[in-house]
Structure 1
Amino acid sequence: MRTLDLTKDFQLSSPKPNVGAPITPMQFTTVDGGPITIGGPKDRWTLLVVYRGKHCPRCKRYLNKFNAMLSDWTALMNVVVVSADSLEKAQLDKAEFGWEFDLCYGLTEPQMRSLGLYVSDPLSEAETTTRFAEPGTFAIRPDGKLMLVDISNGPASRPDLDELLDGMRFNIENNRPVRGTA
């Protein structure tokens, strides 16, 4: 019987983000042209959702459900959604689906790596033409510290939005400590 070698068999594409530590500030641009910075002190919590991009039908279903719940989310925290897509691709998605959240574009590979995201090469030019991030969800406290991380190496695994909202509401209302720091 083979035993797992945790140093060789489970290697992330980037180091895990440090929950409980300040997140590296990053600036994104919304499709509406405004800058958004995550990290650093804010007046409320922030939820950062990273999606694969225009080429991903699962992302669109997920973000459509997220958009339908948006008022529940924005009552609780700021919401930022970003991909590595170009401005043009992000504008097309926003126009087609009527998304109301702050949709950002141009996530860079260094930003992907600093978030600990898995990074994929396109399977073909029909998919997309540049590297892109696999899904990730990050909850950031008002002091800029990372509270919650959920990353996936593919489109089929993402947090259930109802459960995540309920859990975040509980964490915020009860000032719960960061878990999973060891």
Structure 2
Amino acid sequence: MASTKPIAGGAIPALTFPKVGGGSLSIGGPRDAWTLFVVYRGKHCGRCKKYLGILEKMKGEWEAAGFEIVVVSADTEEKAKADIAEFGWSFDVGYGLTEAQMGELGLYISDPLSPSETDRRFAEPGIFCVRPDGTNQIVAISNGPAARPELAELLDGMIFNIKNERPARGMVDAA
């Protein structure tokens, strides 16, 4: 499986994921709002719970700034349901992120350290702020759970970018 590096200013791939509780969640393509797309490692990750807990507290602020929130992991529906029940997340949560989808998003993929961690490969964290036209404004991909954008700073920067109609940055290839 090949991985592709997401391009700032480029289109995020059009992907669909099953949603806990039925239906589906999707990213990519034109929409009416900005999208905060968060890929988390899964039920086994305590740092993910902390991060998504902060997102839960800030959900209204992100929505007021014009964002819809899409959160997904490679977990099974049962694991994702258990997290929602335990942590009280009110944003929609997708599950079943495939390795092929991880590759399309340019995410790092890890094998579990042991069967007690989890029972499948999983994506390391990825955060994407996607314009209504389906292009990436911000791409933040990590190879481990300890490096992710701080959500209040990210929101503040995105409000500035939207208000001032700032383009995506980092679009120059090294010579």
TM-score range, shorter chain: over 0.9
Aligned to 2:45: 56
Distance 1:28 1:74 in 2: 21
Distance 2:115 2:156 in 1: 39
Which of 115, 123, 133 is equivalent to 1:143? 133
Aligned to 2:116: 126
Residue type matched to 2:80 in 1? A
Residue type matched to 1:127 in 2? E
Q: How does 1:28-39 map to 2 (within 5 A)?
A: 28-39=17-28
Point out 4+ residue stretches in structure 1 off by more than 3 angstroms.
none
Distance 2:167 2:35 in 1: 16
Aligned to 1:75: 64
Aligned to 2:96: 106
Distance 1:133 1:147 in 2: 21
Q: CA deviation at 1:24?
A: 1.3
Residue type matched to 2:27 in 1? I
- TM-score (ref. length: structure 1): 0.91
Distance 1:29 1:15 in 2: 23
Which of 33, 43, 48 is equivalent to 1:44? 33
CA RMSD of aligned residues (A): 1.0
Deviations 1:133-182 (A, max 9, x none): 00010011101111110010001111011100101111111111110011
Q: CA deviation at 1:75?
A: 1.5
Give the secondary-structure state (helix, strand or coil) at the position aligned to 1:110: helix
Give the secondary-structure state (helix, strand or coil) at the position aligned to 2:62: helix
Residue type matched to 1:106 in 2? G
Aligned residues: 170
Which of 87, 91, 99 is equivalent to 2:81? 91
Residue type matched to 1:181 in 2? M
Gaps of 5+ in 1: 1-12
Q: CA deviation at 1:15?
A: 3.0
Aligned to 1:165: 155
Distance 1:18 1:35 in 2: 25
Aligned to 1:116: 106
Aligned to 1:25: 14
Aligned to 1:65: 54
Q: CA deviation at 1:14?
A: 2.8
- TM-score (ref. length: structure 2): 0.94
Residue type matched to 2:59 in 1? L
Distance 1:106 1:170 in 2: 34
